Amino acid sequence: MKFAVLSGKVAALRSDGYSFVLMLSLSIISLFIGPVLYYWLRQGGFVARTLDSLIIAVLVALMVVWLIPESWSMLGYWSVVLMLAGYLVPGLLEILIKKAAHSLHLISLALALLGLALHAVLDGAGLAGSEVQTPENLALAIVVHRLSVGLMLWMMVQPVFGKRAAFGVLGFVALATIGGYFLSETFLVLEGDEVMSVIQALIIGAIVHSLIHRSHGTAEK
């Protein structure tokens, strides 16, 4: 019965497709706005600081008011474990990218790209699942969060590997997001609420990491 209901939801939403394509497109556009934010924030100015503060405020509000309480209600203590895992992974990716940059360590670079792909796949699945089972707050959080993702990736990759490599990484992440979005249908239909709850908790952890990291970066400026 659950399989049939979820299949019907996914099929109906796929046939309509407008909101799906809109949120997916916005998440990719947000990713590529990252380089613009990077240069804009470096120059400073009232508008740039205000936009940066607004991004943080929106994400904090979504986390505190909706997403974290919802994740706790669905998974209990497991939500804390999954959020912690989602929080730690971006930090490990940063370490791997820096190690690859300083020592040209190909294994570190490969692991970093694999981790980035996994992160992007989860974002894509979260965008798809937010329309099937969870409120649109998760999709909005992912879209806003991608501004930070694009900014942080550009900050890590461009100074060492150059603009071409940095845009290549952003393109790679965008493709992985699209892949996660379309592949998510299989997992959501087979496992339903359980998989979506796990994905949501992992994404929440990653967003919390970006908020803390972003705050530190702002303080350093």
Q: How far apart, in whole angstroms, are the C-alpha atoms of residue 68 and residue 205?
A: 9
Tell me the pLDDT tens digit for each residue of 27-69.
Answer: 999 999 888 888 887 777 677 677 777 777 888 887 887 788 8
The domain spans of the chain are 2-220
* Least confident window among 108-112, 168-172, 207-211, 212-216: 212-216
Global confidence as pTM: 0.72
Closest CA to 10 of 126, 122, 133: 133
Identify the burial level of 176 via C-beta atoms within 10 angstroms of its C-beta, where 0-12 means exposed, 13-18 middle and 19 or more buried.
buried
Q: How high is the pLDDT of residue 133? A: 52
Q: How far apart, in whole angstroms, are the C-alpha atoms of residue 206 and residue 211?
A: 9
- List of residues 6+ apart from 194 with CB closer than 8 A: none
Tell me the pLDDT tens digit for each residue of 130-151.
Answer: 555 555 677 888 888 888 888 8
Taking a C-beta distance cutoff of 8 angstroms, is the pair 219, 83 a contact?
A: no
